[in-house]
Chains A and B, each alone.
Chain A
Amino acid sequence: MNRLYTSLEPRVIDDGMLKLAVGEQRPQEEAGKLAKQEGILFKDVLSLQLDFRNILRIDNLWQFENLKKLQLNNNIIEKIEGLENLTHLVWLDLSFNNIETIEGLDTLVNLEDLSLFNNCISNIDSLDALIKLQVLSLGNNQIDNMMNIIYLRRFRCLRTLSLSGNPISEVEDYKMFICAYLPDLVYLDFRRIDDHTASVSLSVSQQAPRFLGKGKEVAEAKHHYSIEELKHRENLMQAQMEEEQARREELEKHKTAFVEHLNGSFLFDSMYAEDSEGNKLSSLPGVSELLEAYRDKFVIICVNIFEYGLKHQEKRKTELDTFSECVHEAIQENQEQGKRKIAKFEEKHLMSLSAIREEVEMPNIEKMILECSTDISELFDALMTLEMQLVEQLEETINMFERNIVHLVGLFIKNVQSLMAQCRDLENHHHEKLLEISISTLEKAVKGNLDKDLSEDVRALFVDKNTIVNAVGASHDIHLLKIDNREDELVTRINSWCTRLVDKIRRDEIMRNRKRVKEISLYIDHMKSELDNLEYSDILD
């Protein structure tokens, strides 16, 4: 199968070869002359042909950033590599090489046509990134497993496939199998799949039970079941992924509202997660009920915070939306004005330019040119005034927005803090209760009638008053710390979000302003230089 290394020496792609190839493939005649004059940059090349060159290793192609079509057929390449930078590739031809595995194509997301004809590939994989793939040529390879076809189901755009000359094409129902599993395919092995075949395989796959017991159809009936199963599995996967996606989005939304994980007992659970003493104490009689009630109340407050957070998030969002909408409108309006001014100017300018060209009297020409240049500077002034006006207006609006958003954030923080304080109160209350129970238990312990079913490490706490008070206090401290941490996190995050947002708005506005000023001055410069050129040419004339 592999072509023997011929007497020719294997070569590597180097600069000389590339230049030669590019030079050979440049446009012909006049254009070619021009191209030669100017030289061609590798990054301007759209199509490159490197066939029959005994290339062993793909290399040095990184400069061809914009390459769309690359032909490397009829070489002795053994490994697909060095194509990572050619992300604009649409057409890749690697036929008649010695490639054994498909690899190194993960960045070529725009690839539509891939030819790996006449290689030594035995498995179809690593093509996941090529979502736009339409034509896949894998003929004359070593593919021997039908399951490879199932892999191709993920390419929704795939229309043309060639697999002839592979071991699998020898299988009896090879064609039927492919038609059944790849229903969108139009061409198989350079021939159009006629509707009959398609319908047969389709009908087989849909109405299989009817054909049961009839030699060939039995096989297709089997396909039917396996296809259905496959579809089912695919659907399940799809659904799972969607669900996952939805969950992630939900969490993301909560995060933007800064109240993630507050819609349940997450915070409460985390309070007790690292609190060994608290867990121990919960086994005391009466504590579990207390804990239950405490937990319920706590969760209610958390949910309150959560809902309040979502509500406020909505408010902030509408605020931001109205702001950006208004700003957008203002900018649009301003641009329209600018465009109108320019259009008006251009009309007049064109007239006066042609008038200048017609004119013969030198003093007249000079006068007109002067007029023109004053026009240009007037336009410049007008545009700049417009721009400055807009800058002022936007500045004002941005300030207002900042004030409002800061106010909103402040309000939110204040309310959340008060809710958090409720939590803390609850904790304090609980702490007191717990302390009471502990003390009474201690008293019992001192008297010696402690419950029998208490575990040893709990009993160990009830040695003296200090120990038990310390234990309860430690638990309490941990809880408070957790609550404080959550609160701090929320406050810092929302504050940083707020500053970042305002910063970004200001930065964007500055960028916009600079861009516009640059644009205007560029335009004015162009106009002036045009006028100057006219002057020179006229004088020369």
Chain B
Amino acid sequence: MEVLREKVEEEEEAEREDAAERAERARTEKMMRQVEVRKEETTLTQEMLRDLEKKLSEIRIPVSVEVPAFTKDTIDISMLPVSYKTNTSKEEQLLQLADNFSRQYSHLCPDRVPLFLHPLNECEVPKFVSTTLRPTLMPYPELYNWDSCAQFVSDFLTMVPLPDPLKPPLHLYSSSTVLKYQKGNCFDFSTLLCSMLIGSGYDAYCVNGYGSQDLCHMDLTREVCPLTVKPKETIKREEKVLPKKYTIRPPRDLCSRFEQEQEMKRQQEIRAQEEKRLKEEEERLMEAEKANPDALHGLRVHSWVLVLSGKREVPENFFIDPFTARSYSTQDEHFLGIESLWNHKNYWINMQDCWNCCKDLIFDLGDPVRWEYMLLGTDKPELFLTEDDSGINNEDDVENLHSWVEQIEISPEAFETRCPNGKKVIQYKRAKLEKWAPYLNHNGLVSRLTTYEDLECTNILEIKEWYRNREDMLELRHINKTTALKTDYFKPGHPRALRVHSYKSMQPEMDRVIEFYETARVDGLIKREETPRTMTEYYRGRSDFLSYRHVDFGPRVKKLTLSSAESNPRPVVKITERFFRNPAKPAEEDVAERVFLVAEERIQLRYHCREDHITASKREFLRRSEVDSEGNKIIVTPDMCITFEVEPMEHTKKLLYQYETLMHLKKEEKLSRRQVWESELEVLEILKLLKEEEEVHTLTISIYDTKRNEKSKEYREAMERMMHEEHLRQVETQLDYLAPFLVQLPPGEKLTRWQAVRLKDECLSDFKQRLINKANLIQARFEKETQELQKKQQWYQENQVTLTPEDEDLYLSYCSQAMFRIRILEQRLNRHKELAPLKYLALEEKLHKDPRLGELLKMFT
């Protein structure tokens, strides 16, 4: 079969060859011409360039309106460095090499599309694709792994579709430009991602190939949102314990086996029907969800990233779609074919048949039959790896490709903001995911996942909202629209140690469950469940071994006075408390459960069961009529207490014992009721607190975040100011006060005594002049101020009658300010007068001590 098909293929090929060759020749010619044109272009005039530009923009297929255009018109190329605008001789050489390679390739494989080798960059300069990759290791530890890296790229850039979905683009911009404008097509995406991945040590390649429609349009509406996928519960297979040697035989089973079998059969039938029905339904759903067939299936050009196994402990080759940051296996059916791939060192052409998508491709780039490489020297990545280990000097001749792209830089602000404008929306199948940058929303919302019931996304099923940096530690809010149940999840650190709070309304005494971080609470409360009539609390780790308390409330007694939940608690009907086993006590004295039937005035005790027993002791105290109106006085009678003891004991029969137990229980009952009341109060308080938090929602700011944290900011600024001042002072001290005078003298010569004396005199007189000038200046200002004030006063006296109160106020404030200024000037003048002689003397002293003048002057004096 194989041979036959090959033969047929050969024949077909031969037929095709003629036509193809012609076409190919035409194409190469065209390309040659293009190259020529390009060569000329460098020397072309502006006019012609504009012409070409116009032509090119005419050629461009009009893209849909809502897609943000990312053309070179919008790019400011004036600021770009030289390497962007010209080609070095090496690059020229490389381009020629590439052209040559391309020609050979098109000659050998005339039926394949031309290679994507040297697209134009933003300055209309052709650049070889491998040099467009700029391996960079990002300074953010979050970007060290491929998944976070890919997520970042997909979040950071806005997707622009290819101008022609069937052809690779004519332009491939540098990553720095792409990052600057935060937009790009799939080639830009994969170039950036590939640069980052290679930088952090992955064996990553940019791929030029064909993808499905969804992939090319970044259409996730047919994908299930990864956040909605529940982690598959790993079914723990109960390991069958081998029956031990002495395991007792089970009692004989006396059921009819026949009946059982019949029952089983019936069950199976029902199940089969059910399954069938489910399957049909599923199929129907699948049908509905299936996309309409794509006319251009297999022709749509896409670019993605291939990561080969080996480096960074990657166990298996995989693809990353840079748009969605999802990883796919190399067998995934979204990827329909590979034309070529490249990294920063080399370029490979796929010579394998892609009739079965990428499923049969073998990514052994060292195999020249499957992968045609372009540059020598890096033909075997495996080989290169070993060389890389042995010595770096090989690197020079191997890595002759120097990227023309500037270092990829992402500012911390941009990194934190991530998405353009800090917001991003992704539409999934029956789900919508919105993302925001932290601190963008004033309530700390960072992402929201809305799940819908139907494909058209109209009926909301549930909403999940993630928060960050909230002061109340709220992390996730889950709203179930069908049951109207809200569930809030808190991180540790809430002032009330809240962990989970699920509720339907914020009104007290309604259905709600509050879970706590019990280690943060003194009373060891884990969970409190409430319904309108009951409250259940679960405890752990208490010294009194209380584990559970259930309270039944009765209807509230109507009071005429204004009553709230706080002032008028509901009457307690019944309190049930359960305790863990206290190992210090014998089981028959350790209470397991006690029930206070408040209304019936009964107390029931159930004790723990001893290890080798099946019954537990019980005790019931009735005190129905035995309490008189006075209060405590109880006349104990033997029939007040009904006791069942597993092992009857002597001392417990005594009335004294019963009396003491009863008294103790009465006290405990009071305590329990008080605790119940306190619990109710706490719930009210928590609700109040939550409401307040919801209204205020303050966000916490780390003290290391000097941009947002006001205090840190102030501190930092103060530090900076201080540094600056310090710097200024240093500069000042370095200033040579003799320099202007020394300049007049011939340089490099030693001063004569006469010169020194003159220098000194000049310096002193100069300083004197300065002092006088300063005094004059202050004097002048003082006078000016006084004059102005006088003028103003004059004006005021003249117009006093017609002035409005505001003007008068203005005048008064001016006056006081002017007076203040005058006073200050006066003070300064006085001070100057006082200090000037001193300063003069100080300078003289200093001049005497100056090493350059000192000796000569000393000789003189």
List A residues at the B interface (Cβ < 8 Å).
27, 30-31, 34-35, 37-38, 44, 319, 322-323, 325-327, 329-331, 335, 338-339, 342, 383, 389-390, 393-394, 396-397, 400-401, 512, 515-516, 519-520, 522-523, 526, 530
Contacts and interface: CB of A to CB of B under 8 A. Distances in A.
Given A44-B651, A401-B246, A522-B646, A339 B251 contact: no
B614 A330 contact: no
What are the 7 tightest A-B residue pairs by CB atom distance, in nearest-first order? A338-B614, A326-B246, A393-B248, A330-B248, A526-B644, A523-B615, A323-B246
Interface in B632-672: 633-634, 636, 642, 644, 646, 651, 654-656, 659-660, 663
A519 B615 contact: yes
A128 B169 CA distance: 96
Contacts of A27: 656, 660
B631 to A, nearest CB: 12
A396 B244 CA distance: 15
Interface majority SS on A: helix, strand, loop or mixed? helix
B248 A339 contact: no
Contact of B655 (A37, A331, A519): A37
Contact of A523 (B248, B251, B644, B656): B644
A325 B609 CA distance: 21
A523 B613 CA distance: 11
A397 to B, nearest CB: 5
B607 to A, nearest CB: 13
A302 to B, nearest CB: 32
Given A31-B656, A34-B656, A326-B245, A512 B642 contact: no
Contacts of B633: 30
B244 A512 contact: no
Contacts of A400: 246
Contacts of A394: 248
A326 B248 contact: yes
Interface in B605-619: 609, 612-615
Given A30-B636, A342-B614, A530-B642, 17 more contacts: A27-B656, A31-B663, A34-B656, A34-B659, A38-B654, A38-B655, A319-B245, A326-B244, A329-B247, A330-B247, A335-B614, A393-B249, A396-B249, A519-B613, A519-B614, A519-B615, A520-B615
Given A35-B656, A38-B654, A516 B614 contact: yes
A181 B660 CA distance: 47
Contact of B246 (A37, A327, A519): A327
A335 B616 CA distance: 12
Interface residues of B, number: 25
Contacts of B660: 27, 31
8 contacts: A35-B656, A322-B246, A325-B246, A338-B614, A390-B248, A520-B614, A526-B644, A530-B644
Q: Quick one: which of B613, B614, B615, B646 has the most chain A CB within 10 A? A: B614
A499 to B, nearest CB: 19
Contact of B612 (A34, A342, A389, A515): A515
Interface in B46-76: none
Contacts of A401: 246
Nearest to B639: A533
Contacts of A331: 612
Contacts of A389: 251
Given A339-B609, A530-B642, A34 B248 contact: no
A312 to B, nearest CB: 17
Contact of A339 (B247, B614, B636, B651): B614
A16 to B, nearest CB: 23
A31 B651 CA distance: 15
Contacts of B644: 523, 526, 530
A104 B510 CA distance: 68
Interface string B501-529: 00000000000000000000000000000
Contacts of A390: 248
A530 B604 CA distance: 15
A30 B634 contact: yes
B612 A396 contact: no
Contacts of B654: 38
A338 B609 CA distance: 12
A38 B248 contact: no
A338 B246 CA distance: 22
Contacts of B646: 519, 522-523
Nearest to B251: A389
A390 B614 CA distance: 14
A512 to B, nearest CB: 7
Nearest to A350: B604
A323 B246 CA distance: 6
A342 B651 CA distance: 27
B481 to A, nearest CB: 38
B659 A30 contact: yes
Q: Quick one: which of B244, B642, B654, B660 has the most chain A CB within 10 A? A: B654
Contacts of B656: 27, 31, 34-35, 38
B614 A396 contact: no
A389 B615 CA distance: 19
A319 B245 CA distance: 9
Contacts of B612: 331, 335, 512, 515
A34 B245 contact: no
A162 B614 CA distance: 52
B84 to A, nearest CB: 73
A34 B244 contact: no
Q: Quick one: which of A34, A331, A393 has the most chain B CB within 10 A? A: A34
A359 B97 CA distance: 106
Contacts of A31: 656, 659-660, 663
B652 to A, nearest CB: 11
B771 to A, nearest CB: 66
Contacts of B634: 30
B366 to A, nearest CB: 59
A34 B654 CA distance: 9
Contacts of B246: 322-323, 325-327, 397, 400-401
Interface in B547-563: none
A507 to B, nearest CB: 15
A396 B248 CA distance: 8
A389 B248 CA distance: 11
A44 B654 CA distance: 11
A466 to B, nearest CB: 61
Interface string B223-252: 000000000000000000000111111010
A346 to B, nearest CB: 9
A34 B655 contact: yes
Contacts of A515: 612
B98 to A, nearest CB: 77
Given A519-B646, A522-B646, A322 B245 contact: yes
A38 B650 CA distance: 13
Interface in B244-295: 244-249, 251
B650 to A, nearest CB: 8
B251 A325 contact: no
A390 B655 CA distance: 40
B755 to A, nearest CB: 70
A401 B615 CA distance: 30
A316 to B, nearest CB: 13
Contacts of A339: 609, 614
B388 to A, nearest CB: 58
Contacts of A338: 614
Interface string B94-127: 0000000000000000000000000000000000
B443 to A, nearest CB: 49
A516 B647 CA distance: 12
Contacts of A327: 246, 248
Interface string B584-621: 00000000000000000000000001001111000000
A393 B251 CA distance: 8
B254 to A, nearest CB: 13
B205 to A, nearest CB: 61
Nearest to B604: A350
A382 to B, nearest CB: 11
Contacts of A322: 244-246
